[in-house]
A and B are shown apart, each in its own frame.
Chain A
Amino acid sequence: MSKQYETVIGLEVHVELATKTKIFCSCSTEFGGAPNTHTCPVCTGMPGSLPVLNKKVVEYAMAVGLATNCQITRHCKFDRKNYFYPDNPQNYQISQLYAPICRNGYVEIETENGSKKIGIHEIHMEEDAGKLIHDEWEDCSLVDYNRSGVPLIEIVSEPDMRSAEEVIAYLDKLRLIIQYLGASDCKLQEGSMRADVNLSVREVGAKEFGTRTEMKNLNSFKAIGRAIEGERARQIELLEEGKQVIQETRRWDDNKEASHAMRSKEDAQDYRYFPEPDLVPVDISEEWIEEVRSRQPELRTEKLIRYKEEFDIPEYDAKILTSSKQMADLFEAATALCGKPKKVSNWLMVETMRLLKENGQEPEDLKFSPEHLAKLVELADAGTINSTVAKEVFEHIFYEDIDPEAYVEEKGLKTVNDEGALRETIERVIAANPQSVADYKGGKEKALGFLVGQTMKEMKGKANPAMVNQILKELL
């Protein structure tokens, strides 16, 4: 390859909002219900039914817009996007084309090459479609409309990204902002966050953009990274062969690590957008914006500063603690209970991260309560249990969220600080291991470790190790 190419990427990110009800009707949005049990005439497009907008959707969209430095559209409207597909029972999707709720924002991302602003073109509100299941046996399709009408926001970026690394940093930034706002859980695997990648390549230094393709079906950060590398290589190969890139929508198959064309521009849909007559406009006042702004929770950037100032937590640690809302919430709640931020941070950074990794889980999957972690910190700190026992108890907190106080009591795991009992055990150990005693007296320091180990074993791991050391040395 003689020429140098640059990749230009823009993203369309769909995020399912965490409302209790759908965008235009009061059906539940709960995930996992039996097919069509969360449906009504509105979300199945029955003639004569009328949509009524969920206020919470507008407020979540505004919250995300404010957190991504967008302008909020004061006079905002909905439009119909017309297309026929069985997952879309109205034969149109209610969306926003002409006056989306947020415009002209940006987020700042950090990569190895420093920080960079990624522009946000717009954010609009729309409804999700139903789910189609293909029945191979009977050669038909089955439709479940539980997801039809679930509120979405679509965040459209400017074509400001140049690498997979930047794309992932941008998505991660969006995910954290939205999670902290409580507007969505943003799980790529479960589809509550979906990203379509618009990608083109051009020679370095070229002014014009190349022809772009749109890649769909990307449901993990890894798949996104692979799809970007794959599509960049495919487009460069076409250009090197003197061929043209065709503007089309492609579907990524992560198992095959390849994509195939879904539809090209020639048979692209003509959506015939027009203003939605069934919904009245939304007028957003300065007061309403300020009200939403005043309710904005503390975001990650602010937490990073506060953790350092208030708790003296190093930046690296603070970044890990705030890498998910669950973790940050746990840290703050447990710290408030026991007043020992560094100890709490240590349990989260070391043991929690280790167990998450071992189980292939994400911090979002954390289930244990801050009360139990705080109690464990206090038990360990007071010397009621030693560090080995504390780790064992923590595993039970991690998996079963047990109450450490009750557990330690029930299992008799309290550290033995009783000098009389320790002295007795140590005397027995010394009597039973004359060789080690002789070795130690002959100058072999290691022999002492063996005797400590034997004592701990006799005491079932519950002895106070400092005391064991001290008494052993004294008796020898």
Chain B
Amino acid sequence: MANIISDETMEYVGILAKLELSDAEKEAAKRDMGRMLDYIDKLNELDTSGVEPMSHVFPVSNVFREDVVENGDEHEKMLVNAPKVKDGMYQVPKTVE
């Protein structure tokens, strides 16, 4: 494996993903991420000069909706997925910036 993920990188990625990993999980994730980067290195061996960067996998553009209200009030169905409900709202742990 050519790419070695440092402990600092692992720590940082964990913070960004809001994941608390055990030491064993960290080691496994480091190996996985190293392999992914190796694969990218492999792709980088290809000569892509003169190739237009692709912005989407399908050669399609301009898929639009007209500005017309079609959805009605389905809040009861929507709130079925809420961890907890209070006053018609999703109740979550206190979050203040």
Contact = CB atoms under 8 A, between A and B. Distances in A.
Contact of B73 (A38, A82, A141, A281): A38
A40 B93 CA distance: 23
Interface string A23-39: 00111100001111111
Chain B interface residue number, banded: 35 or more
B19 to A, nearest CB: 11
Q: Give the most central of B70, B75, B81: most A CB within 10 Å.
A: B75
A275 B55 CA distance: 7
A20 B69 contact: yes
Contact of B56 (A56, A145, A281): A281
Q: Which of B67, B92, B94 counts the most chain A CB atoms within 10 A? A: B67
B56 A36 contact: no
Q: Classify the interface of chain A: helix, strand, loop or mixed.
A: loop
Given A20-B67, A36-B89, A44 B55 contact: no
Given A28-B71, A36-B75, A53 B89 contact: no
Q: Which of under 10, 10 to 19, 20 to 34, or 35 or more describes the interface residues of A?
A: 35 or more
Interface string B78-94: 11010000111111111
Contacts of A133: 89
Given A27-B69, A142-B87, A272 B16 contact: yes
B62 interface: yes
Interface in A97-140: 99, 132-135, 138-140
Interface of B: 12, 16, 18, 55-58, 60-71, 73-75, 78-79, 81, 86-97
Contacts of A134: 94, 96
Contact of A280 (B61, B69, B78, B95): B61
Interface string A81-107: 010111000000000000100000000
Contacts of B78: 36, 39-41, 44
Contacts of A34: 75, 88
Contacts of A27: 69, 71
Contacts of A56: 66-67
A134 to B, nearest CB: 6
